[in-house]
Amino acid sequence: MKIRSPIVSVLGHVDHGKTTLLDYIRGSTIAAKEAGGITQHIGATEIPNDTIENICGDFISKLAIKDLIPGLFFIDTPGHAAFTSLRKRGGALADLAVLILDVNDGFKPQTYEALNILKMYKTPFIVVANKIDRLFGWEVHEGASFRETFSNQAKSVQQDLDNKIYEIVGELHKEGFQSERFDRVSNFASQISIIPISAKTGEGVIEVLAMLLGLAQEYLTEQLEIDENAPAKGTVLEIKEETGLGVTLDAIIYDGVLRTNDEIALMLSSEDVLVTKIRSILRPLPLEEMRDSKKKFRKLDEVVAAAGIKVAAPHLDDVVSGSPLRVLSEDTDVEQEILNEIDNITIDTEDEGILVKADTIGSLEAVVKLLREMDIPIRAADIGDVNRRDIINSSIAYDENELHGAIIAFNVDVHPNSEEDLNNSEVKLFSGDVIYQILEEYEEWVKQKQE
């Protein structure tokens, strides 16, 4: 048995600072390199524990978990769409999440979306109120803890920030969450911590790292236990063409060990299973080596979870993002398990109802789950753009029941050849990239139809 690093995802509205926060964490940990530095993965960055200890010092000295876990594993593809494709059977791939808000801008559509998704997957999270350096009169203390920088601000600035925090508390309350500024939280199990930070100046980032370790200790110790000799389990982030390598896939391994020449099973967009053999496992070269090498990747013989890797193997073209990646094993019928997984999402559909289309397995799962919670019947659910067949079938459904002539399309397009079919039909399309907004529009439409 081994304890792996908790996988941490950063979510929030566009421009609220996800990338800047991850960059700051990476930069500050590179600066603290004497303690081990960071490991750059595909789609992730791992910050080792001694580095975190170096940065956080007293803030985490009492936490037992810091001696157990190897570090924090930050997913580098932030955003809620990425979050939903970062799935594993029965839940989110991320063990913890950071919901980032611009303290001057407040809640936005993607903030609500992120909250809904965190609620649905029951992922423990903290809220980060970013860009405090933009508050009127804020005096910057680069890299300081929030406590330190806050205590050095003018009274009026402190008051201004607190007012903004209370707006966030109020908004979270409406969404069903109790919350408080982190240093006023009395019960970490029932209250969400809000940490004011500046991703730009690093103020408060110490507390973000410390609080993530605290959450890991509180909720995750069992979840993080892995068998480092077991066949690997992972999730596909992306399928990518690489010069010299052909079509490759980027994946996060969250359990077990993956080795070159392992046979792996993956899901295809046709909803069949592909079995293929790993030709090579690759990880980006460290920066120093990248400079004097034409190569971008280093070959590895094996990796143990948690790891972000690129895999080169034959026949990857039609693998779908969000697909499970499983090493074949003698004890379990992995291929059947993968088929069951897609069936769980798509087959449990009714004879009558609407059609759901989405871009990845994870997003499809999220939309289907939300629709079921709303008691909306689903006739079919699949991955991919809206095509001619979808429109024909929905027209037939419309003729039987107008309410069933709807297509919910998340993060997908209408196939160019089918636009005209759609316009000439009675079929109603609800599309976009914020699930709850699509569903709100759909409900509004249902209401109008029923009147």
Task: Kindly indicate which of the ranges 13-21, 40-48, 115-123, 378-386 contains the residues binding Mg ion, using the contact rule CB under 5 A.
Answer: 13-21
Name the E strands within 49-86: 71-75
- Pair 6, 305: CB distance under 8 Å: no
- Encoded one letter per residue, x for contact with ligand GDP by CB under 6 A and - for no contact, window 77-106 reads ------------------------------
Question: Which amino acid belongs to residue 71?
Answer: G
Q: Smaller CB distance to ligand GDP: residue 95 or 133?
A: 133
Residues 327-346 that bind Mg ion (CB under 5 A): none
- Between CA 248 and CA 386 the distance in angstroms is 26
Q: How far is the CB of 15 from ligand GDP (least distance, A)?
A: 4
**CA gyration radius, the chain:** 23
Phi, psi of 286 (to 5 degrees): -60, 155
Contact between 16 and ligand GDP by CB under 6 A: the answer reads yes
| Shortest Cβ 197–ligand GDP spacing (Å) | 7
DSSP assignment letter at 409: E
Q: Look at residue 191 and give the partner it binds from ligand GDP, Mg ion, none, a contact being a CB closer than 5 to 8 Å depending on partner kind.
A: none
In this structure, the number of other CB atoms found within 10 A of the CB of residue 26 comes to 16
Would you say 7 and 83 are in contact if contact means Cβ atoms under 8 Å apart? no
- Binding partner at 130 among ligand GDP, Mg ion, none, C-beta below 5 to 8 Å by kind: ligand GDP
Q: What are phi and psi of 79, to 5 degrees?
A: 125, 150
Confirm or reject binding of residue 276 to Mg ion (CB under 5 A): no
18 binds ligand GDP (CB under 6 A): yes
**Structural contact between residues 199 and 205, judged by C-beta atoms closer than 8 angstroms:** yes
Residue 12 or 204 having the CB closest to Mg ion = 12
Torsion of CA 90, 93, 96, 97, to 10 degrees: -110
* Angstrom distance (rounded) from CA 353 to CA 402: 10
Q: Indicate the pairing of strand 263-267 with strand 273-277.
A: antiparallel
| Residue 221 CB-density burial (10 A; 0-12 exposed, 13-18 middle, 19+ buried) | middle
Stretch that binds ligand GDP, among 7-15, 28-36, 48-56, 426-434 (CB under 6 A): 7-15
- Given candidates 134, 184, 295, 299, which one binds ligand GDP under the rule CB under 6 A? 134
Is residue 12 at the binding interface for ligand GDP, with CB under 6 A as the rule? yes
Q: Which is nearer to ligand GDP, 25 or 224 (CB)?
A: 25
- By CB under 6 A, which span of 9-17, 25-33, 116-124, 224-232 interacts with ligand GDP? 9-17
Residue whose CB is less far from ligand GDP, 19 or 54: 19
Q: Does residue number 15 form part of the binding site for ligand GDP (CB under 6 A)? A: yes
Among 7, 13, 19, 212, binds Mg ion (CB under 5 A): 19
Q: Which is nearer to ligand GDP, 46 or 203 (CB)?
A: 203
Q: What is the distance between the terminal CA atoms of the chain, rounded to a whole angstrom? A: 60
Retrieve residue 28's tokens: 């500050």
Side by side, the strands of the sheet bearing 125-130 are 39-41, 44-48, 71-75, 7-12, 96-102, 125-130, 191-196, 178-181
Q: Which among 18-26, 142-150, 360-368, 411-419 is the span making contact with ligand GDP, rule CB under 6 A?
A: 18-26
Q: How far apart are CA 369 and CA 367, in angstroms?
A: 5
Task: From 51-59, 120-128, 193-201, 243-251, give the range in contact with ligand GDP by CB under 6 A.
Answer: 193-201
Which does residue 20 bind out of Mg ion, ligand GDP, none, counting CB within 5 to 8 angstroms by kind? ligand GDP
Please list every residue from 102 through 131 that binds ligand GDP, using CB under 6 A: 130-131
Question: Can you tell me which residue has the tokens 């978990």?
Answer: 65
Long-range contacts of the stretch 173-176 (C-beta < 8 A, 24+): 175/112, 175/115, 175/119, 176/119
The yes or no reply on residue 17 touching ligand GDP (CB under 6 A) is yes
Using CB under 6 A as the criterion, what x/- string covers residues 19-48 for binding ligand GDP?
A: xx----------------------------
- Contact range with ligand GDP by CB under 6 A, out of 16-24, 46-54, 290-298, 357-365: 16-24
Total residues at the site for ligand GDP (CB under 6 A)?
15
Half-sphere exposure of 65 (CA within 13 A, CB side): 25
Looking at residue 198, the DSSP 8-state letter turns out to be -
Q: Contacts with Mg ion in 415-444 (CB under 5 A)?
A: none
Instruction: Name the DSSP letter for residue 191.
Output: E
Beta bridge partners of 339: none
Residue 128 or 397: the one with the smaller Cβ distance to ligand GDP is 128
198 binds ligand GDP (CB under 6 A): yes
15 binds, among Mg ion, ligand GDP, none (CB under 5 to 8 A by kind): ligand GDP
Q: In a 3-state reduction of DSSP, which class is residue 1? A: coil
Q: Which residues bind Mg ion (CB under 5 A)?
A: 18-19
Q: Which residues bind ligand GDP (CB under 6 A)?
A: 12, 14-20, 130-131, 133-134, 198-200
